[in-house]
A and B are shown apart, each in its own frame.
Chain A
Amino acid sequence: MWTDRTSGSHPLSRRELLWQSAFGIGAFALTHLLHRDGLLAQAPPKPGENLPLDLKPRAPHFAPKAKAMISLFMHGGPSHVDLLDPKPELTRLHGKDYSGEVGFSFVNRASKRLLGSPWKFARHGKCGTPVSELLPHLAEIVDDICVLRSMHTGHNGHEVSIRYFHNGQAAVTGRPTMGSWLVYALGSAAQNLPAYLVLSDPGGHPVDGTHNWSSGFMPPLYQGTVLRPQEPRILNLDAPAHLRGELQRDNLDLLAALNRRHLAAHPGEADLESRIASYELAAQMQTAAKEALDLSREPEPIRRMYGLDDPLTQSYGERCLIARRLVERGVRFVQLFLGGQPWDTHTSIRTTLPDICRRTDRPAAALVKDLKQRGLLDSTLVHWGGEIGRLPVCEGELNDQVGRDHNGQGFSVWLAGGGVKGGMVYGATDEVGHKAAENVVTPNDYQATVLHLLGLDHSRLVYRHNGREQRLIDGRPARVVKEILA
């Protein structure tokens, strides 16, 4: 039994640790223990050594505010000046030429004509945070969210900024995403569900595909497990119809008997024990994941709240609801994606932006409300945002087809719960909303803050790879945005 050996004085090698990988724990007793105690407090790894490469729950560096995170990633660049960052000056200057410098992505359609938001803003909640009329449901929860208006990647390209947000470095691939870092650091309380789940869209993968949930140089056990947008949401979860029930139990019994005989001939081989356990856990997952993903168990008012009764919001609503059910069951990190990049409103913003708002606004707000009414919001960090924002000037002619080009210089995201102050606005862009001007927040600052909320110091969270200590932010300047902490 490897558990006996871990309790001894022999340090485990990287190889042995690999044996104890995802779900592949050797002893159920340990799981029970963890469930009882909530967390496994364990000695920090020696300098230069990785954490055990498994998904058992682990203590963070310090007491966390959030235990889990749900990220509603909005690919394409939501137009902050039309949604969360009202600019009266932009409205006043509508149609005039902008005097400042602008970096364009689509120079062929570039223009310096300022485009005032076609939509009205109004103040909401006790806090009075202004929200565009495009987001009526978000307006209902402003007292629970903190809007960061000074996001800045410095890059206008999608992939460049997406990677910056996900893995800490602009444009670079092959690095683990923040979700990978979180489950590497913290493991998962849900041993019969994947720790890091990605909820994909019926419209296909988002831009940049599997890079969005890659574990990079970490083992694949830390990569996001993609749940399909419709059943079967997990592949190979169910036995084919002709094998269900008694036959599959017989099959697994025979397999376990064969494997135990093999193990008996190879005493002490931890991986062979893990193999046996992996089958037992797979069998458990067949029930646990089914249960977690079964939305028919949700009462009608909840289903309506998420917009499951409306074809427009049904798909995103289902995923928001699944996200809540997953964190309820101990999953550490859940990220929702939309197909392609629906927020990339280069043309006809007057119709394309309301469309994507209608698909997502009600479910996203419902998620925060629902978490709150269940007492889960305090321990669950919710993130809403894209990788960039949009320019205050026109893309194309100022007519029905007018749009807005990419803007990585300044844009907005919001956070809720998990130790973030509600009813707050942080940072500001310049008077027309082009550049982050006050309290600039980079993706690295955002990552440092997220890790802090989950009880982790970004500079101490290390994974050794290729002879060097790697970190999510990797030594770049980053600060925890303390001002938004509750």
Chain B
Amino acid sequence: MGRVIPPHVPSPWNNPRPEQVELLAATGFFRTAPDPTASGGGQAEAEQVVADTLKIVGSSLLGLTIDAPSATITVTTRFPTSTTSAPPCSSRALDPGAQRRPPQRLVSLYTDADRAKAAAIEAEVAKMQADLTARQTKAVKAAFDVTLATFPAEQRAALRAAFDTPDAKRTPEQKKLVATNPKLNINPGVLYQYNQAVADELQKLQNAINVRRAQKPVEEFVAVLDETPGRVPVTRLHHRGDYRQPKGEVTPGDLTVLAADGKRSDFTAKDPTLPTTGRRLALARHLTSGEHPLTARVLVNRLWLHHFGRGLVDSPGDFGTLGQRPSHPELLDWLASELVRTGWSVKQIHRLLVTSTAYRQSSKRVPAHDIDNSNTLLARYPVRRLEAEAVRDRILAATGRLDRRPGGPPVAGSEDAVGQVNAPDDQPRRSLYLQAKRTRPIAFLAAFDAPVGELCCDRRVSSTVAPQALMLMNSDFVLQQAGHLARRVLAETPADFDRDRLRSASARFARPSDAWSYGFGEYDPTARRVIGFNALGHWTGSSWQAGPTLPDPRHGWVLLHAGGGHAGNDQKHAAVRRWTAPRDGRMELSGKLGHASPGGDGVRGRVVSSRGGLLGEWQAKNREVATTVAAFDVRAGDTVDLAVDCVGDVNADSFSWPVTLRLTSAGGAVQTWTSAADFHGPRPALPQLVAFAWQLVYGRPVGDDELDLAGRFLTKQLATLSAAGTPDAEAAALTNLCQQLLASSEFLYVD
């Protein structure tokens, strides 16, 4: 449960075999109660751990509410035959008299081989480190000597003496010398400023040490509950539940109320064949003997509960007379006997349940169902909201980012700027693998009723509250995932997705034409216009180029990406980023043309308007130049080209040219375009994108009327977003659409 593990714990479990590790890990079930003795506390706290653990065992395995204030057992679950009971199996692996705190209950999984390997690596690393230190010292000394030589000869002796003397022994004059000559104060950390080659060499050695050390086997621990061999503690009834008033001795056994004939199942106090008392083993055998009246019923009821939203017994932690009567008692008994008959195969029961007619029913409600409002009799499958973890996992799965790998270390949550605990977005693991800390619940999961881990949650509630709505509307998590989903839709929608059916739909989607196109062409100095514009036909995933290979056999090196591109091989192949005016207005354009390489002859950028001709021309070689153009008028349909050519030769002609365009209409409305943010690859038609989003989120084709709905939504949002100058308005509108799908009932509920 996210406990911080101390560096090393001695263990009686040396070289555990994998199956032993599994058994040890299974005892962690008894370690799920909050254990305040980790941070101090005395016998009262230790007794509370016992009571809480009994509660967990009672409600999870026995379907009983056991209140055990310090070993006086009150079974609040009443049975027809009896209202009080002796305590169950008093295994004292939890032994308040000799309490072991949680850190002392960790077993290291380090084997002798691991230990030997770690020691060998450490020894090797120590040698490497000694070698490195010696070389560092030598290099520092060499650098010092070289630097000292730059000082006047008469000062050198005094300086050397001052720097060679340990700080504590320096005279005031020496201290002053050290303070006023910082360039002689050389240490390994600044060596690179004096001799880069040597520093690089040393860094390589350091890296080698780090690599070697990282090869040490990772020491892992498993939290266990084990007994101290040989210790057979005495359990006493505590008068009025007060551990300070121990009374009569209690012998180990099951609860008296559970014995069919009123005779309690007793266990031996000490199993002579085992080093420990063996009481838990005896209880486990008793519980799984197939004779126990509760274990199998409680377990199948729980499995049923998870598949159907409610158990056959609606009080899964309470099978007594105060709990609910089973809705289908014969079914419960049959399932319980099936579980035992199939050798306690939980998988078989799952299979049985999910292939049953009851499970495969429609959730559609008809008026006749009103006679059983609560659907206790299962005339239909219930409509159920997904549990918190499933909501999160399903969102991640829709974005295509869910990391389904099993096992491994948990992912810790972290607090955002306002203190909300979130799972890190770059580790989209299943919610099962999020570290569960009682004190730091993951905000998204808590909002959807994930229990906080206070003892047992025998059944979750499923609430429908405004904070959930706010979480889905406004939380960073959901907004981020909507963005991921929209990007996935843009990247993965097949161009011909459901084309035949969707063809007619395109008319209903007003898609503003993209202002940008990407190609190559030639600047004609006579006409002062760009001529021969050809679109670049191949999208690599991050750039547009002429064909799949680079250089292209016909068109050479010309390409464009978000931040800039590469000029083509000749004047006919200037890289041209073309903007087409959607309406009339006055345009302001600014940007920076950059060329980073010292090689070649640089690049030449031109801004050319189809109306006004050449508006600006700059050359850049191994530098950046501002490319500001005086404001100019455009009419709808005009083009403005940002053309970059190679000047004379095509060596090293990569360039960057981020440009911002600001168009002010006659009415005063301003719209902005940003070349980098607006840049994107080819996009399928809007209906295709919508249909693919539907498929990803709901796993079904979009309906015709839903397509209409989405079409109206996107048309309106695109207008709003474009008017607000949102970069890549289409991606933004699609993100909003995706978010609503993720927040919708169809997504959140199973039916």
Contacts and interface: CB of A to CB of B under 8 A. Distances in A.
A279 B473 contact: yes
B374 A278 contact: no
Contact of B76 (A242, A267, A466): A466
B736 A281 contact: no
A254 B374 contact: no
A333 interface: no
B465 interface: yes
B745 A258 contact: yes
B745 A243 contact: no
B197 interface: no
A275 B464 contact: yes
B464 A467 contact: no
Given A21-B463, A221-B463, A262-B744, A466 B65 contact: yes
B385 interface: yes
Contacts of A14: 314, 374
Given A23-B466, A257-B709, A466 B318 contact: yes
B717 interface: yes
Interface in A10-64: 10, 12-16, 18-24
B247 interface: no
A275 B717 contact: no
Interface in A201-219: 209-210, 214, 216, 219
A297 to B, nearest CB: 23
- Interface size of B as a range: 35 or more
A127 interface: no
Interface of A is mostly: helix
Contact of B736 (A18, A228, A247): A247
B721 A24 contact: no
Contact of A240 (B59, B374, B474, B746): B474
A259 B745 contact: yes
A254 B737 contact: yes
Nearest to A160: B44
Nearest to A173: B454
Interface stretch (A105-113, A118-126, A138-146, A231-239): A231-239
Contacts of B439: 209-210
B373 A10 contact: yes
B744 A259 contact: yes
Interface in B203-262: none
Interface string B444-465: 0010010010110010011111
Interface stretch (B362-370, B574-582, B631-639, B655-663): B362-370
A467 B463 contact: no
B76 A255 contact: no
Interface in B400-425: 418-420
A266 interface: yes
Given A467-B77, A468-B322, A225 B745 contact: no
B726 interface: yes
Contacts of B705: 261
A174 interface: yes
Interface in B349-395: 363-365, 369-370, 373-374, 376, 383, 385
A476 interface: no
B751 interface: yes
A23 B475 CA distance: 19
B383 A236 contact: no
Interface in B576-615: none
A456 to B, nearest CB: 23
A261 B741 CA distance: 13
A24 B463 contact: yes
A269 B385 CA distance: 12
Contacts of B455: 174
A239 B736 CA distance: 12
Nearest to A48: B322
Contact of A272 (B77, B376, B418, B749): B749
A20 B713 CA distance: 30
B418 A267 contact: no
Max chain A Cβ within 10 angstroms of own Cβ: one of B365, B464, B471: B464
Given A22-B465, A255-B740, A279-B473, 6 more contacts: A14-B314, A18-B463, A20-B464, A252-B473, A254-B713, A261-B706
28 contacts: A16-B374, A22-B465, A173-B454, A221-B461, A228-B418, A232-B418, A234-B470, A235-B470, A236-B467, A236-B470, A236-B474, A238-B474, A239-B473, A250-B716, A250-B717, A251-B740, A252-B473, A254-B740, A258-B740, A259-B744, A262-B749, A265-B364, A266-B365, A268-B365, A278-B469, A466-B458, A467-B77, A467-B315
Interface of B: 59, 65, 76-78, 310, 314-315, 317-318, 320, 322-323, 363-365, 369-370, 373-374, 376, 383, 385, 418-420, 439, 443, 446, 449, 452, 454-455, 458, 461-471, 473-475, 479, 705-706, 709-710, 713, 716-717, 720-721, 726, 732, 736-737, 739-741, 743-746, 748-749, 751
Interface of A: 5, 10, 12-16, 18-24, 173-174, 209-210, 214, 216, 219-221, 225, 228, 232, 234-240, 242-243, 246-248, 250-255, 257-259, 261-263, 265-269, 271-272, 274-276, 278-279, 281-282, 285, 466-468
